[in-house]
Amino acid sequence: MKDRIYLSSPHMGGNEIKYINEAFEENWIAPLGPNVSNFEKEICKYTNASYATALASGTSAIHLALKSLGVKSKDLVFCSSLTFSATANPITYLGATPVFIDSDYESWNMSHIALQKAFDYFLENDKKPKAVVIVNLYGQSADYDKLKKICDKYEVPIIEDAAESLGATYKGKYSGTVGDIGIYSFNGNKIITTSGGGMLVSNIEKYTKKALFWATQSRENERHYEHKEIGYNYRMSNICAGIGRGQLEVIEDRISKKKQIYELYKEGFKDIKEIQMMNICDYGRSNYWLSVMTIDKNSKVKPIDIILALEKENIESRPVWKPMHMQPIFKDYKFFSTLENQSVSEDLFNQGVCLPSDTKNSLSDFKYIIDIIKKLF
């Protein structure tokens, strides 16, 4: 069996162990400590966000972002359909109702056309969402000028799910800082990792401050343990934050390598007309987290053929995210499509493949992957 080639696995930069050792030497093994507060400051410095709260996961960050915006039981929350379930699940934690919005073909992210349809439908029934959760998919920002114009018109705040897009930009602003609240994920497969963890960022202090309060069990500022609100054990650990600090030092190197991987695939498949790499929009920089392609519907080669051919060689690849409105758990919730008789997100799911994008892989690894796929055509 050949050595496993992963989709996107952790890639240490070298200084992570320094911050971890400092935590051990100073006995900051408890949940909080200097690494946590410094990691928050360093994320703010990197992204130009004003405030940050380090949390246990990107999912917990979305949960507290929704709660910060006052989302409660039976409220409506509009949400990108083409995403991982962690984007939508926290809406249900609060008893709110998710409404799923289709993508566009240009960015693969939320469509302003579908978003407007959703607003029109619910406003006719004297309802509007409490928040809109917009995902920046596979490392690329959504087209926020179009989306924000609609949300601002109806005075509805945006939660920017930048779990996959730390380091990307939109018209000069870093991904995660365009909406009212942004969230990042540092899961093991992301462009940088803390092994597990997340971050909530905002330019409005009350959101991060309240998130911090809830994330530390809603403990009141009293000598004894006083609680007036339900809290959560959502704070990032000092050890994990140490890993994150070391990772953040090499993020630009990781983005550069991820872009190189994308370009290798694009060049490698340029003569196969059935293959189309995910479009990179010119309104900002992608972090190229995963290189993703689609296969023409009329091709004899199907996405599953590529996945199985790579799997046979111990190479990991995956389908594109299955849209939330297609998931059994969410099938009864409303969905608004971009086109009249076609769902863009379903189309991308049915035709898409996430290719191995691990920054530890060698040039020969990627040439090998490209050769396997080309032989199928």
329-366 pLDDT, tens digit each: 999 999 999 999 899 999 999 999 999 999 999 999 99
Q: Supply the range of the domain harboring residue 366.
A: 251-376
Pick out the chain residues at pLDDT < 70: 1
**Domain limit, last residue, from 216, 231, 248:** 248
On whether both 258 and 363 belong to a single domain, the answer is yes
| Gap between the Cα atoms of 43 and 348, Å rounded | 32
| Gap between the Cα atoms of 235 and 217, Å rounded | 9
| Gap between the Cα atoms of 184 and 165, Å rounded | 8
Domain membership flag for residue 8: no
| Gap between the Cα atoms of 168 and 188, Å rounded | 18
Q: What was the pLDDT predicted at 31? A: 74
**Domain limit, last residue, from 214, 231, 248:** 248
On whether both 111 and 169 belong to a single domain, the answer is yes
Which residue is associated with the tokens 């490698």?
268
Q: Do the Cβ atoms of 195 and 98 come closer than 8 Å?
A: no
190 is catalytic: yes
| Gap between the Cα atoms of 184 and 139, Å rounded | 11
| Number of domains into which the chain is organized | 2
| Gap between the Cα atoms of 76 and 340, Å rounded | 23
The secondary structure of 247-284 as a DSSP string is HHTTHHHHHHHHHHHHHHHHHHTTT-TTEEEPP--TTS
150-153 long-range contacts (CB < 8 A, ≥24 apart) are 150/112, 150/115, 150/116, 150/119, 151/115
| Residue type at position 3 | D
On whether both 258 and 242 belong to a single domain, the answer is no
Domain membership flag for residue 41: yes
Which CATH number fits the domain that encloses residue 257?
3.90.1150.10
Q: What was the pLDDT predicted at 300? A: 97
Q: Is the pTM of this model over 0.85?
A: yes
Q: Quick: pLDDT tens for 239-255.
A: 999 999 999 999 999 99
Which CATH number fits the domain that encloses residue 122?
3.40.640.10
Among the listed residues 130, 148, 190, 258, the single catalytic one is 190
On whether both 68 and 24 belong to a single domain, the answer is yes
On whether both 180 and 266 belong to a single domain, the answer is no
Q: What was the pLDDT predicted at 1? A: 63
Q: Do the Cβ atoms of 314 and 2 come closer than 8 Å?
A: yes
Domain membership flag for residue 1: no
Beta strands in 228-355 (DSSP E): 275-277, 291-295, 318-319, 335-336, 352-355
**Domain limit, last residue, from 248, 273, 306:** 248
On whether both 190 and 57 belong to a single domain, the answer is yes
